[in-house]
Amino acid sequence: MEINPAVTFKHNRSVMYAKRPKVLIIGAGLGGLTLGMLLEKASIPFEIYERASEVKPLGSAMYFNGTTANLFKQCGFYDQFVSISKFVSTINVCDENRDIQYKIDFQGHDELFGANGYIISRPKLYDLLYRQVPKERIHLGKKVLSMDQGGNGVLVRFSDGSEAEGGILVGADGAYSAVRQGLYAKMKKEKTLSTYDSLPLPFSTICLVGQTRPLTAEEFPDIALEESQFCKIVGDSRPYAWSTFTTQQGTVCWICVQYLTAETSKENDAFRNSEWGPEAAQTMATKVRDFPVVSGGDKKLTLGDLIDWTPKEFMSKVMQEEKVFQTWYGCRTVLIGDAGGVGASNAMHDALVLANLINGLPFHPITSEIEAAFKAYQEERFHWAKAAYEASKVFRSMAGQTTTAKVVRFCVKNMPQWIFQQGQKRTTGYRPQCAFLPLVEDTGRVVPFPQPSLSVQGPKDVKSDSEGNDEGVITAAPAVL
> Do 65 and 109 form a contact (C-beta atoms < 8 A)?
yes
3-state helix, strand, coil in the chain (%, to 5): 35, 20, 45
What residue spans of 106-146 are helical by DSSP H? 109-113, 122-130
Distances (CA, A) of 352 to 229, 315, 338, 356, 460: 30, 30, 15, 6, 21
187 Rama class: left (phi>0) / alpha (psi -120 to 50) / beta: alpha
Please provide residue 11's backbone torsions phi and psi, each rounded to the nearest 5 degrees: -115, 95
> Do 380 and 453 form a contact (C-beta atoms < 8 A)?
yes
| Successive 10-residue mean pLDDT values, the chain, 481 residues | 44 68 96 97 97 83 94 97 96 93 87 94 95 97 95 94 97 90 94 90 84 96 96 88 96 92 56 58 93 92 97 84 86 85 79 98 95 97 86 65 71 70 78 97 93 91 42 31 26
Report d(CA 344, CA 349) in Å as an integer.
9
Report d(CA 34, CA 129) in Å as an integer.
7
In a 10 Å sphere around its CB, with 0-12 CB exposed, 13-18 middle and 19+ buried, how is residue 371 labelled? Answer: middle
CB atoms within 10 A of CB 362: 18
Termini Cα distance of the chain: 5
pTM above 0.85?
yes
Report d(CA 234, CA 244) in Å as an integer.
12
> Do 100 and 94 form a contact (C-beta atoms < 8 A)?
yes
pLDDT score of 280: 81
pLDDT score of 478: 30
pLDDT digits (tens, 9 = 90+) for 66-80: 999 999 999 999 999
Map residue 289 onto helix, strand or coil.
Answer: coil
Counting Cα atoms < 13 Å in the Cβ hemisphere of 102 gives 12
Extended beta strands in 130-195, E state: 138-139, 144-150, 153-158, 163-166, 168-171
- Secondary structure (DSSP) of 383-426: HHHHHHHHHHHHHHHTSSSSHHHHHHHHHHHT--HHHHHHHHHH
Report d(CA 347, CA 210) in Å as an integer.
21
> Do 451 and 433 form a contact (C-beta atoms < 8 A)?
yes
CA 43 to chain centre: 23
Please state the length of the chain: 481
∠ CA 16-170-61, rounded to 5°: 140
Please provide residue 453's backbone torsions phi and psi, each rounded to the nearest 5 degrees: -70, -10
pLDDT score of 264: 57
pLDDT score of 86: 97
Report d(CA 71, CA 73) in Å as an integer.
5
Residue 474 host element (H or E): strand 473-474
Report d(CA 254, CA 242) in Å as an integer.
7
